[in-house]
Amino acid sequence: MKIACIGAGYVGGPTMAMIAKKCPEIEVVVVDINEARIAAWNSDKLPIYEPGLFEVVKEARGRNLFFSTDVGKHVGEADIVFVSVNTPTKTSGVGAGKAADLTYWEGAARVIASVSTSSKIIVEKSTVPVKTAEAIEKVLRRNCKDSSVHFEILSNPEFLAEGTAIEDLTMPDRVLIGGKDTETGRAAIASLASVYAHWVPEDRILRTNLWSAELSKLTANAMLAQRISSVNSISALCEATGADVQQVSKAIGTDSRIGPKFLNASVGFGGSCFQKDILNLVYICETVGLQQVADYWNQVILMNDYQKDRFVQRVISAMFNTISKKKIAVYGFAFKKDTGDTRETPAIDVCRGLVADGANVCVYDPEVTDDQIHADLTQQTYEWYDHPNPRSAPVDKKAIGISHDPMEAANDAHAICILTEWDEFKHYDYQKVYESMHKPAFIFDGRNILDHAKLREIGFIVYAVGKPL
Ligand code: NAD
Ligand code: UGA
């Protein structure tokens, strides 16, 4: 069996590396049009930072795992083609700001059709709107010159989270495969299931129809994000009443019907998918006339924007309503720990908000590159729709400092904002940090990861999300 995967990104790279590791008899080739990305996958410095990934890649690379820019050749030879291209939010035209942009997906489908001389299973790995398989099937069928070639489309959405991708791929809660209830559909599902069965227990391989699989992916992300927005909404109430959101999360999470995971109040959720996928869900609901359902899910995003904005307001009001010309150290820029990814990170809106109010920020993040931080803060992000957060306008590069040393970042600062939950932040010598800062020295813990009692003993004024002062 030969597998090709179109798209060597955060999903295509790690998922294919895991398949190659677990299935040494299958040849797996990951193809991409981005030459620099493919070169990086073939080097010792992979294009994405993900704990444990390099070991998996190293084990299989050159044996049965290959990375190539020759899209046509490898797709043409494959029996199974995964499509793991980006499906961002549309930036113009009908549905701009909400609908999924399927340009890359359709482009990939057209390439598959043009190079196929044998029948193939086409696997939707990207997150796509429900019913995409129907559209893609038409593109494939109408563009393939060889009428004897049969394309069987499956939906196999990916549920890995960044930072824990290898763990998630090694022991997935489930693998979801959607396909048609026809002879060829069932055979294709069995064929893909046999790949995962190399390491995933049979009872974790779920089989559904195509539309359920497509919609389950959007729903899973919407439900996860909704939990965070729910707990974040309660964090605001905690701050107003003296309740402690961590105690509330623990108390409700012990109810087995609610469960303890994903109840950490924060400065807001980020990442490339939660907002994009909810917007996509909202758009789909609107197009089928379900406005109330659309409004319900849109509120998850509005609450997230409110949470980021609230964090900025709190910094400003705590610091006597003036942060003008004050240095504020920002610890963490990635959207979560153990990744260098900054897509939709709350740090963008928070840093922009602080700078808009006159502060000078100095960012320290163990993984994010300087260029990425500068680009994220100075380039226009939301030109294509009315983002509800007016603070999120790009800011001047002059107000942004970047340091590769957390001590230096805090030196002479008036405040520290913790925006990512990197473990190393818990272990700094905060006595030393305190001594190097202006007084009163503030810490705003946007992730509730520090020992607040100890920091207060040192002399810091500590504000944390949803915690009493
Ligand atoms: P990404 O942007 O990191 O990677 C996509 C890759 O596809 C890029 O390298 C791009 O060059 C390539 N590409 C685009 N069109 C191509 C074409 N025609 N031929 C060859 N290569 C092409 O994206 P990602 O984060 O890996 O996400 C991919 C999909 O998976 C998205 O739909 C996303 O919603 C979904 N997803 C992402 C995650 C995540 O953690 N990032 C998790 C689950 C699902
Ligand atoms: C998320 C989902 O968890 C994956 O299942 C899904 O496959 C993926 O999106 C996707 O489709 O892209 P990811 O965005 O990588 O994964 O990371 P998460 O761990 O879900 O975190 C998302 C954001 O929520 C981060 O900013 C994180 O800090 C925040 N978060 C998470 C909280 O604020 N509180 C929590 O309790 C949990």
Write the pLDDT tens digit of every residue in 328-366.
Answer: 999 999 999 999 999 999 999 999 999 999 999 999 999
pTM (2 d.p.): 0.96
Pick from 463, 467, 423: nearest CA to 443 = 463
Atom from ligand 1 closest to the CA of residue 85: 7
Q: Is 87 annotated as a binding residue?
A: yes
The Cα–Cα gap between 95 and 385 comes to 10
Tokens 């990170």: give the residue: 345
Query: What does the pLDDT look like over 11-39, one tens digit per residue?
Result: 999 999 999 999 999 999 999 999 999 99
The finding on whether 273 has its CB within 6 A of some atom of ligand 2 is: yes
Q: Is 9 annotated as a binding residue?
A: yes
Query: Nearest C-alpha to atom 2 of ligand 1 is from which residue?
Result: 86
Ligand nearest to the CA of 105: 1
Q: Is 77 annotated as a binding residue?
A: no
Q: If you measure from the C-alpha of residue 125 to the centroid of ligand 1, how many angstroms do you get, rounded to a whole number?
A: 9
Q: If you measure from the C-alpha of residue 458 to the centroid of ligand 1, how many angstroms do you get, rounded to a whole number?
A: 46
User: What values do phi and psi take at 153, rounded to 5?
Assistant: -95, 130
The finding on whether 224 has its CB within 6 A of some atom of ligand 2 is: yes
Per-residue pLDDT band at 152 (split at 50, 70, 90): very high
Q: Is 7 annotated as a binding residue?
A: yes
The Cα–Cα gap between 339 and 11 comes to 13
Pick from 408, 401, 405: nearest CA to 373 = 401
Atom from ligand 2 closest to the CA of residue 163: 15
Tokens 């009908």: give the residue: 94
Angle, in degrees to the nearest 10, between helices 274-287 and 291-318? 150
The Cα–Cα gap between 90 and 435 comes to 48
Q: If you measure from the C-alpha of residue 271 to the centroid of ligand 2, how many angstroms do you get, rounded to a whole number?
A: 7
Which ranges constitute the DSSP H helices of 199-345?
A: 210-241, 245-253, 274-287, 291-318
pLDDT of residue 384: 47
Query: Nearest C-alpha to atom 32 of ligand 1 is from which residue?
Result: 126
Instruction: Please give the C-alpha separations between residue 43 and each of 34, 47, 58, 184, 224, in angstroms, as whole numbers.
Output: 15, 9, 10, 39, 35
Ligand nearest to the CA of 339: 2
The finding on whether 127 has its CB within 6 A of some atom of ligand 2 is: yes
Q: Which two tokens stand for residue 269?
A: 């959720």
120-124: strand order across its sheet: 65-68, 27-31, 2-6, 80-83, 120-124, 151-155, 175-178, 205-208
Per-residue pLDDT band at 92 (split at 50, 70, 90): confident
Per-residue pLDDT band at 382 (split at 50, 70, 90): low
Tokens 């040192």: give the residue: 458
Neighbours of 184 (CB within 10 A): 14
The finding on whether 311 has its CB within 6 A of some atom of ligand 2 is: no
The Cα–Cα gap between 111 and 71 comes to 8
Q: If you measure from the C-alpha of residue 32 to the centroid of ligand 1, how many angstroms do you get, rounded to a whole number?
A: 10
Residue 118: left (phi > 0), alpha (psi -120 to 50), or beta?
A: beta
Contacts of 61 (CB under 8 A, 6+ apart): 17, 42, 67
Burial environment of residue 434 by CB neighbours within 10 A (0 to 12, 13 to 18, 19 or more)? middle
- Comparison of pLDDT for 14 and 469, the residue scoring more: 14
Q: Which two tokens stand for residue 287?
A: 């197009």
The finding on whether 335 has its CB within 6 A of some atom of ligand 2 is: yes
The finding on whether 347 has its CB within 6 A of some atom of ligand 2 is: no
